[in-house]
Amino acid sequence: MESPEKFRKSASEVFKLMYVVFFVFLVIAGLLVYLMVDPSLSAFKNNNSDNTYISISKQEESDFDKIENGIHVRTGFIEAEGLMQVVNNCTSCHSAKLVTQNRMSKEQWSATIRWMQETQNLWDLGQNEEAILSYLATNYAPKKGGRRQNLSDVEWYDLEE
């Protein structure tokens, strides 16, 4: 009489243990999977930036050529007449940054285009060339720098020694 009772008891104990072990595994597995998807645990650290990120990426998808504060966001080019011709012809080989960090006259921009056509496999720009040149010469024209400029963009800080 005693032994079937004992068996049932120990069997239910075993089942309980099995459930506990299985549950613990499920929790661990869930945590591990989460860690792989988000190894830096960023979702817990800063929900706001996470949300911002999502909203920006969604916006970018829907607005590939978005302009913000007069700047073409994707490339950093100034918004002006000829912008898209420049984006389409001048950023497939090199970064837009190579253009935007430079300042040249129309003649020099033109010489640069010729140099790229002669040595860098740039195609014939056809009717777009005039628009591109006038965009570059207008928006990225040389500024006078003189023989030495003032130190600029100085960020002041207290020096502790």
Residues that bind other proteins (CB under 8 A): 10-11, 14-15, 17-18, 21-22, 25, 29, 32-33, 36-37, 93-95, 97-98, 101-104, 108, 112, 120-122, 142-149, 151, 154-159, 161
Residue 139 near residue 78, CB atoms below 8 Å: yes
Q: Which is nearer to other proteins, 84 or 96 (CB)?
A: 96
Cα 17 to Cα 8, 9, 11, 24, distances in angstroms = 14, 12, 10, 11
Q: Which is nearer to other proteins, 35 or 81 (CB)?
A: 35
Cα 88 to Cα 6, 92, 93, distances in angstroms = 81, 7, 10
DSSP 13-31: HHHHHHHHHHHHHHHHHHH
Q: Which of 102, 79, 99, 103 is nearest to 90 (CA)?
A: 99
Beta bridge partners of 67: 72
Q: Which is nearer to other proteins, 7 or 44 (CB)?
A: 7
Q: Which is nearer to other proteins, 31 or 81 (CB)?
A: 31
Q: Which of 40, 87, 47 is nearest to 67 (CA)?
A: 87
Q: Which is nearer to other proteins, 8 or 81 (CB)?
A: 8
Minimum CB separation of residue 137 from other proteins in Å reads 13
Minimum CB separation of residue 46 from other proteins in Å reads 17
